[in-house]
Amino acid sequence: MLNFGRFPKFDNLVSLRLERVKIVESELFSCFPNLEELVLVDFKLPGDLYGLEVISFRLLRLTISSCYCNFSGHQKLMLLTPKLVFLDLKGLIPVNLEAYEAPLLETIRIDHCYPVATMHRRGAQFDKNQQKDNAMNILKRFGNAKCVQLSLSTIEVLLLHCIHCFHYVLML
């Protein structure tokens, strides 16, 4: 993975896609003041970084896909994107998401697309109960969205608690 850190200011850049990069600074998107679309695919945060901040007052669309980050313990994903209209999360659902109001949010799409076998191959820790809690937290934070799209695997994770309760009742 290529290390991605502070860049010179790009005033005219409106769309940025980063794939297979190691983000080495927590807030590096302020050098793109007119950014409207940000796509992060297969990125990684080093363990000593406290998290990732996406601060943009013009950002409309944000996609975070297949990140190699635990977002556990001290690491956070912080969004300050008041004009955000589309949020797309694919892969593991971030644990510590801090998001400030996104009053214009139209669509949120969550695709928890990691089967357990894939997680074991990558050596990642995977807790379905934590993923369920994370998804519920995100849905609560973005309750003003006009459209919520959930993949089948995300729905399965959300129903996990209900299934455990149902099994418990059957055993009584």
What pLDDT shows up at residue 155?
85
Write the burial class of residue 60 (CB in 10 Å: 0-12 exposed, 13-18 middle, 19+ buried): middle
Q: Tens digits of per-residue pLDDT, 137-155?
A: 888 888 888 999 998 888 8
pLDDT digits (tens, 9 = 90+) for 101-133: 778 899 999 888 765 445 445 545 556 777 778
C-alpha dist (Å) from residue 151 to 30, 62, 108, 170: 32, 18, 11, 28
pLDDT tens, position by position, 47-104: 777 778 888 899 999 998 877 665 555 567 888 899 999 999 888 776 567 777 778 8
Using CA atoms, how far residue 132 sits from 32, 35, 129, 152, in Å, is 34, 31, 5, 13
Question: Can you give the pTM of this predicted structure?
Answer: 0.80
Q: Which amino acid is at 76?
A: K
DSSP string, 78-104: EEE-TT--EEEEESSPPSSEEE---TT
pLDDT attached to residue 14 = 96
The CATH number of 2-171, from 3.80.10, 1.10.8, 3.40.1710, 3.40.50, is: 3.80.10
- 30 vs 164, more confident: 30
Determine the Cα–Cα distance for residues 140 and 53; give it in Å rounded to an integer. Answer: 20
Spans of all domains in the chain: 2-171
